[in-house]
């Protein structure tokens, strides 16, 4: 059973939902950088206020800051893990490779969840987070296409990419992921 996993895909594809479900059923750590950043926002610290502004513009938070969060959470973790929302660009992917090599926990599989763009937009509008209005959603999708999508080829070249059709019901998708984790 694979235990060092990454979920990749556009905002709204269901990464968070699937990552929580799979991590709970395997007692793995679910490391969502978006969730950890939102927790910092909720603390209303100076840093939190800066992060809030970036999240609500739909742009990406500074690579170094997110890397610190990831490092801290992985270093203190003794279980399997699922990364959700990290890395978001090639530079973050390179940093991650280095961190994981230092920890001796190489990434075993990357699940790429995808969905039709208009379904994504509709789903996000219905979700209703503070960064889920249509203008911000379009910015996030543009940034996704420009900076995050190249990671698909990056992990494909490493032979660890698995494509998951996100346009199915939750259970069918999680069964598919579980089956692919076992091989």
Q: Which residues bind ligand AMP (CB under 6 A)?
A: 11, 33-34, 37, 54-55, 58-61, 66, 85-88, 92, 140
Shorter beta-carbon distance to ligand AMP: residue 88 or 109: 88
| Cα–Cα distance, 32 to 82 (Å, whole number) | 8
| Cα–Cα distance, 9 to 18 (Å, whole number) | 12
| Cα–Cα distance, 51 to 54 (Å, whole number) | 5
User: Strands 161-165, 109-114: parallel, antiparallel or unpaired by DSSP?
Assistant: parallel
Written as six digits, the tokens of 64 are: 């170094």
Minimal distance, residue 162 CB to ligand AMP, in Å: 20
Give the nearest residue (CB) to ligand AMP: 34
Shorter beta-carbon distance to ligand AMP: residue 21 or 182: 21
Shorter beta-carbon distance to ligand AMP: residue 92 or 174: 92
Minimal distance, residue 52 CB to ligand AMP, in Å: 10
Shorter beta-carbon distance to ligand AMP: residue 6 or 66: 66
Minimal distance, residue 170 CB to ligand AMP, in Å: 18
């Amino acid at each position: 059973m694979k235990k060092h996993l990454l979920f990749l895909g556009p905002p709204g594809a269901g990464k968070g939902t699937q990552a929580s479900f799979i991590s709970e059923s395997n007692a793995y750590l679910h490391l969502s950088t978006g969730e950890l950043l939102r927790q910092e926002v909720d603390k209303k610290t100076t840093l939190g206020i800066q992060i809030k502004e970036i999240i609500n513009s739909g742009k990406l938070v500074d690579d170094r800051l997110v890397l610190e969060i990831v490092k801290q959470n992985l270093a203190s973790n003794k279980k399997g893990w699922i990364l959700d929302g990290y890395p978001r660009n090639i530079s973050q992917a390179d940093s991650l490779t280095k961190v994981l090599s230092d920890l001796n926990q190489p990434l075993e599989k990357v699940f790429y969840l995808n969905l039709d763009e208009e379904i994504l937009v509709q789903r996000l509008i219905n979700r209703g987070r503070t960064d889920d209005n249509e203008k911000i959603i379009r910015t996030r999708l543009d940034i996704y296409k420009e900076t995050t999508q190249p990671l698909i080829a990056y992990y494909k070249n490493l032979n660890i990419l698995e494509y998951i059709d996100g346009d199915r019901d939750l259970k069918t998708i999680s069964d598919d992921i579980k089956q692919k984790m076992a091989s």
